[in-house]
Amino acid sequence: MILWMVLIFNMSSKIAEDSSRMSTGITEIIIKMIVKIIPSVDIDIGSFNHIIRKNAHFIAYLVLGVLALNALRRNEVYGYRNLALAIGICILYAISDEVHQLFVPGRAGQVRDVILDSAGAAVGIGAYLLICKLIKRRRVR
């Protein structure tokens, strides 16, 4: 979990130009793959890049939510306390990440990114719990 947090911090530390260049590069690769499948598609790279960037927030925190819940469970924290701590860790980290970006040239902290990050963490935690429940049900059979 800590290593994932370091990765998120590292990505947030990139100045705006570097961050934009990296996400635009990823977007271009995805668009090339889509065009191979659907040659007639017309994709606005700017709009699509925005979607990619926001999905990156969601997915990064989805993974963090899974890792946080797993770390707490491995330390024998269960029940609602486990859920509250896991989502609390993720929300506080999302807030600290956006505050951190206030000090990175060209970057800005945004409340909507905290909300998006928190939603990703909640989905990750929910998916983790669902998978655990399905595995437990299968073992009982």
Packed helices 79-101 and 45-74: angle between N→C axes, nearest 10 degrees: 140
pLDDT in tens, 28-44: 999 999 999 998 888 88
Helix axes 45-74, 16-37, angle to 10 degrees: 100
Whole-prediction pTM value?
A: 0.88
The position carrying tokens 């990114």 is 113
pLDDT for residue 61 is more than 80 = yes
